[in-house]
């Protein structure tokens, strides 16, 4: 990330200063360059620091587009400073004023490069392929000269530019583990489902209540439905009985399998008591049972029982 940023900065500066004959090389400060000689100027680039733009914990995993592929990576929002050190070779005292002028001319040209809109906005740092970073800005902070003679004994042979950068950085080529999700089919069902109303039956009679329910839309995670069936039970003091298979793991509930003639069709069979006084209501709760998971409540129906 940061190493690639430093290398790309050297390329951008090298391209911008290619027409300056006095500049001999643009390189990292840690590359072990020999001291410049004569009237040649060296530009040594050094990353000074990197600080998070946000508080710890606010870094994110955004999507990153590479060609036609969308990747997902850990991204760090960083800002910091970079040092650009311009140094010219030693000379005898009589030549030092001319050397100083030559050094300043190279720095002047560098200021023009840094003032370019593409450099200031960070656009100039973009390149084909994954660089591991994307800058939001790169600005000059200050031009400094040493106040004391440098360690090599020459006065006026060093000028330093400090610049500030800001952007997003990520590990190059380290995609998030796992299979990329290219399609995500979504099943949707509105609960409670649409249930029939105004159901009536006479005392002693039976009533088949037909329901159309897409149970596949209710499969959630690993808690798959054991089979195509719904369960039902009488609520409270509802009269009558349900004519289904008793649910072994849920006392009071009865199972009704999908109809053999049509998918998603279920028939809940209810038998009214032999006699009622006036009018009574049987309230029936409906649900879907899942293996090793809570059942899914579908709603309830009301059957009016008359004499």
In 3D, which of 149, 123, 50, 43 has the Cα closest to residue 88?
Answer: 43
User: Are residue 99 and residue 238 in the same domain, yes or no?
Assistant: no
Considering 28-42, 83-97, 172-186, the range whose residues carry the highest mean pLDDT is 28-42
Residue 181 lies in a domain: no
What are the strands, taking DSSP E only, across the chain? Answer: 23-28, 41-47, 51-52, 63-66, 69-72, 76-88, 133-144, 158-169, 199-202, 206-212, 229-234, 241-242, 245-246, 254-257, 265-271, 279-290, 293-306
What is the domain-level CATH number for residue 111? 3.30.2000.10
Check whether 178 has a pLDDT greater than 80: no
User: Are residue 160 and residue 225 in the same domain, yes or no?
Assistant: no
Confidence band for 26, pLDDT divided at 50, 70 and 90: very high
Average pLDDT, stretch 139-149? 82
Q: Which helix (H) or strand (E) holds 99?
A: helix 96-115
User: Are residue 164 and residue 215 in the same domain, yes or no?
Assistant: no
Residue 177 lies in a domain: no
User: Are residue 18 and residue 162 in the same domain, yes or no?
Assistant: yes
Confidence band for 222, pLDDT divided at 50, 70 and 90: very low
Domain that holds residue 203: 199-306
Two structure tokens written together for 27: 């390189």
Residue 249 lies in a domain: yes
- Res 190: pLDDT: 57
- Res 153: pLDDT: 44
User: Are residue 34 and residue 126 in the same domain, yes or no?
Assistant: yes
Average pLDDT, stretch 66-75? 70
Average pLDDT, stretch 83-94? 80
- For residue 167, the cross-strand partners are 78, 135
Residue 179 lies in a domain: no
Residue 103 lies in a domain: yes
Residue 212 lies in a domain: yes
User: Are residue 153 and residue 250 in the same domain, yes or no?
Assistant: no
At which residue do the structure tokens 């298979």 appear?
245
At which residue do the structure tokens 């591991």 appear?
132
Residue 32 lies in a domain: yes
Lowest mean pLDDT across 22-26, 59-63, 183-187, 206-210: 183-187
User: Are residue 155 and residue 204 in the same domain, yes or no?
Assistant: no
User: Are residue 42 and residue 145 in the same domain, yes or no?
Assistant: yes
What is the domain-level CATH number for residue 237? 2.60.40
Side-chain-side CA neighbours of residue 105 (13 Å): 14
User: Are residue 44 and residue 135 in the same domain, yes or no?
Assistant: yes
User: Are residue 161 and residue 244 in the same domain, yes or no?
Assistant: no
User: Are residue 53 and residue 149 in the same domain, yes or no?
Assistant: yes
Instruction: Tell me how many domains the chain contains.
Output: 2
Residue 242 lies in a domain: yes
Average pLDDT, stretch 132-156? 77
Sign of the torsion angle spanned by Cα atoms 32, 161, 152, 50: negative
Q: Model pTM greater than 0.85?
A: no
Whether residue 61 contacts residue 70, with contact meaning beta carbons closer than 8 Å, is answered with no
User: Are residue 22 and residue 162 in the same domain, yes or no?
Assistant: yes
């Amino acid at each position: 990330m940061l190493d690639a940023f430093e290398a790309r900065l050297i390329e951008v500066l090298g391209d911008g200063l290619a027409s300056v004959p006095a500049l001999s090389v643009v390189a990292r400060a840690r590359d072990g360059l020999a001291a410049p000689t004569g009237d040649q100027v060296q530009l040594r680039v050094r990353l000074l620091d990197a600080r998070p733009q946000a508080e710890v914990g606010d870094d994110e995993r955004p999507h990153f587009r590479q060609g036609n592929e969308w990747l997902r990576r850990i991204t760090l929002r960083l800002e910091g400073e970079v040092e650009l050190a311009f140094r010219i070779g030693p000379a005898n005292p009589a030549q030092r004023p001319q050397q100083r002028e030559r050094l300043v001319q190279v720095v002047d040209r560098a200021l023009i490069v840094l003032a370019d809109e593409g450099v200031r906005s960070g656009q100039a740092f973009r390149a084909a392929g994954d660089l591991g970073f994307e800058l939001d800005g790169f600005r000059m902070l200050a031009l400094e000269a040493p106040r004391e003679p440098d360690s090599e004994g020459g006065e006026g042979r060093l000028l330093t530019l400090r610049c500030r950068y800001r952007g997003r950085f990520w590990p190059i080529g380290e995609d998030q583990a796992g299979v990329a999700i290219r399609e995500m089919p979504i099943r949707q069902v509105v609960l409670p489902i649409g249930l029939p109303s105004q159901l009536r039956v006479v005392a002693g009679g039976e009533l088949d209540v037909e329901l159309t329910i897409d149970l596949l839309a209710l499969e959630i995670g690993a808690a798959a439905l054991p089979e195509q069936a719904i369960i039902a039970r009488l609520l409270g003091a509802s009269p009558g009985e349900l004519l289904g298979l008793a649910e072994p793991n849920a006392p009071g509930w009865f199972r009704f399998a999908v109809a053999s003639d049509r998918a998603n069709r279920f028939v809940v069979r209810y038998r009214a008591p032999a006699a009622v006084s006036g009018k009574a209501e049987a309230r029936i709760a409906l649900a879907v049972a899942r293996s090793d998971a809570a059942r899914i409540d579908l709603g309830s129906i009301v059957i009016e029982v008359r004499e």
